[in-house]
Structure 1
Amino acid sequence: MNDERARGVGPVAHGSSDDPELLDFSANTNPRTPPGVADVYEDALDRAGSYPPEPPNEYRETAAEYVDVTPESVVPTPGGLAAIRLAIALAVDPGDSALVPAPSFGEYAREIRLQGGTPSFVSPEAIVEADPADHALAVVCNPNNPTGEAIAQDDLRTFARRCRESDTTLLIDEAFLGYTDRPSMAGTEGVVVARSLTKLFGLPGIRAGFAVATGPFGEAMRNARRPWNLGAPALAVGSHCMRQGAFVEATRERVARERERMREALATRFDVHESEGPFLLLEVGDRPVGRFVAAVRERAVAIRDATTFRGLDSHVRVAVREPEANDRLLEVLTDV
């Protein structure tokens, strides 16, 4: 990365509303947080007068148990995006090409461009069929944001093998995998997994996540990670959340049940994508998306204008929230 490239690569549009008067369906974070978070945060804040341990071994051990890997392969990061940036910075040199899903999270392409690389876009469902040869990096978002589809484990493993044979780093963003019962690819040779604690545990402001990488690339990531890159509250709260198995299971069941209920109701008026994430992508047809979003907002509900995702020009994304809130969204979307 250099200053000239950074000046030429602008920010990516993201969802979520900070208006407390709106019922927010534009952000796809859990409306619930695990029990005990406030107490853990308060206790950790009392210890914030000194630097946290370096490396943060307790956090690494908890994350390792969370995704069933060795603690040595865990690289703590302040959120999943920091893990993505670190992996891309190490994998992509100026002039390199990288396979990137589209439509998907816009930060992948942005980070590649910041390193002087060129994103080569492939549809999310077809990216594991693409040829990784001549690409320094391949990115998979599983489940994909904003479409919601997930890729089968066997297909991911086959693609990972082809990436190894091509000497291509495979980065898998599992920010939403916790909403499914699919196994993580963490610990797979040649694969870097990025995990976020933002979405599943409803704590975007804590900024806690991690990467998992093995072999020489894992060593490079551990060496390149900034020391003290997570504060004491983030380490303590993150460790606490990853131990809350009952909360995770209850969240999966609630989101799956509500997502299907919402999909069935919305399918009477919109084309609705199948999803394994905590959100649904809706095609609104020939109605101008901006006007549609504004009309919903006039009813005190915020939804995500999905035209900010590459390749989408007539779509919105809605989160799956609590049943009562979901009822309000359905009422507005079937009437506006």
Structure 2
Amino acid sequence: MKITTAMHGGNYNELAKQHGLTKEMILDFSANINPLGVPASLKQTITANLDKLVEYPEPDYLALRARIASFHQLDLANVIPGNGATELIFGIAKVTKAQKVLLLAPTFAEYERAFFDAEIIYAELTKETHFAAAETVLEMIKRETDLEAVCLCNPNNPTGQLISQQEMIQIAELCEERNIYLIIDEAFMDFLEGNETISMINYLGSFPHLAIIRAFTKFFAIPGLRLGYLLTKNDLLAEALLQMREPWSINTFADMAGQVLLDDTDYITQTYNWISAERDFLYQELSKFSELTVYRPSVNYIFFHLETPLDLRKELLLKGIFIRSCANYRGLTENYYRVAVKARCDNTKLIRALEVIFSGN
């Protein structure tokens, strides 16, 4: 059965109400947002430009596209901005009109919803291979005839596993040989310091069927603003995406955010310092529990399997902590969970709560 409704992390308000809790009483580990919060540079920019609300946004977003292009050393024509990465996923599905699409399972649900009219083929990932994707994807592309698009999340959500650049080049070469669109969602790639050795952005010129999606949402903690962008050197694809966009889909403050945040080197450095310490801390602490099988993380969330019969999300919610159940991901069961990496004090609260739960108290 295809996924037709959106279900994501961060939707904890309703569940909290069911247990007599308010949103403010919940420590949310379900949404993978940078705990440093909205950068001060953006707050200052918005505050100084509140009067801009009486003006329509710039329709072609030329300054925004030029800043993103400069950051990635691309041309303005290679950048298509969007109202978050999700708008671009749905947009490229409409433009390519792909009728047979390869997706990972498990992975982010919006790809399946975007390609709803297509025949979906799944590269099923397993715990036996630690949810590694590259080998399975290559086998599926070789085996399945008439594939028109391959859509991959790298790092994958919710497993956090990476397809290396070398492996992705092999996938891209095979897709190019067969005229298959390769769409790579790199929404979490910014959390990897030195990610140019993993990202495929520097290979856009080598693969005309390649499109890469990035987002400001997670790294810069602005899910409420909705800003993402797609990169491609396929002129026909880029032009089609620009032509089909609804006017003013990006609001004025999101437009400003994209121009300001890429220059906020202090915030970027602070983020790398935070994640390098806290990701390792939380992974090591979670791995100490015999009740959990924890998969080594690559970015700002950790995926694990509960080895004992227990509704862990419910037990933690009773202690004021909300985590992401992965039961609604294709190929996963109710014993799989994902937690965001947060600040040390919050991560410690999660560990202490798990100690109490697993001790039976």
The normalised TM-score by structure 1 is: 0.91
Could you tell me which residue of structure 1 aligns to residue 298 of structure 2? 276
Residue in structure 1 matching 2:115, options 112, 115, 122:
112
Residue identity (%): 26
DSSP 3-state at the match of 2:327: helix
Note if contact 1:66-1:243 (Cα within 8 Å) is conserved in structure 2. Answer: no
- Structure 2 Cα separation of the partners of residues 11 and 150 of structure 1: 27
Name the amino acid aligned to 1:150: L
Q: Does 1:178 align with 2:178?
A: no
DSSP 3-state at the match of 1:312: coil
Aligned length: 323
Structure 1 residue 260 displacement after superposition: 1.1
- Structure 2 Cα separation of the partners of residues 217 and 142 of structure 1: 21
Structure 1 residue 141 displacement after superposition: 0.6
Segments of 5+ residues of structure 1 without an aligned counterpart are 1-7
Note if contact 1:197-1:203 (Cα within 8 Å) is conserved in structure 2. Answer: yes
Q: CA RMSD in A?
A: 1.7
Residue in structure 2 matching 1:141, options 153, 156, 169:
153
- Structure 2 Cα separation of the partners of residues 20 and 63 of structure 1: 36
Could you tell me which residue of structure 2 aligns to residue 37 of structure 1? 42
Note if contact 1:92-1:137 (Cα within 8 Å) is conserved in structure 2. Answer: no
- Structure 1 Cα separation of the partners of residues 97 and 329 of structure 2: 23
Structure 1 residue 299 displacement after superposition: 0.6
User: Where in structure 2 are the equivalents of 1:1-336 lying within 5 Å?
Assistant: 10-16=4-10, 17-18=12-13, 19-32=23-36, 33-93=38-98, 96-113=99-116, 116-122=117-123, 123=125, 125-126=133-134, 127-132=136-141, 133-180=145-192, 181-183=194-196, 184-186=199-201, 187-188=204-205, 189=207, 190-215=209-234, 216-269=236-289, 270-288=292-310, 291-313=311-333, 314-336=335-357
Segments of 5+ residues of structure 2 without an aligned counterpart are 14-22, 126-131
Q: Which portions of structure 1, spanning 4 or more consecutive aligned residues, are displaced by more than 6 angstroms?
A: none
DSSP 3-state at the match of 2:80: strand
Could you tell me which residue of structure 2 aligns to residue 3 of structure 1? none
Deviation readout 1:225-261 (Å, 9 max, x if unpaired): 2232211111002221122233223212311221111
Structure 1 residue 9 displacement after superposition: 6.0
Note if contact 1:160-1:191 (Cα within 8 Å) is conserved in structure 2. Answer: yes
- Structure 2 Cα separation of the partners of residues 128 and 218 of structure 1: 26
Deviation readout 1:39-92 (Å, 9 max, x if unpaired): 212234311212222211111011113333222110010101111111111123
Deviation readout 1:15-55 (Å, 9 max, x if unpaired): 11242210110111112222222121223431121222221
The normalised TM-score by structure 2 is: 0.85
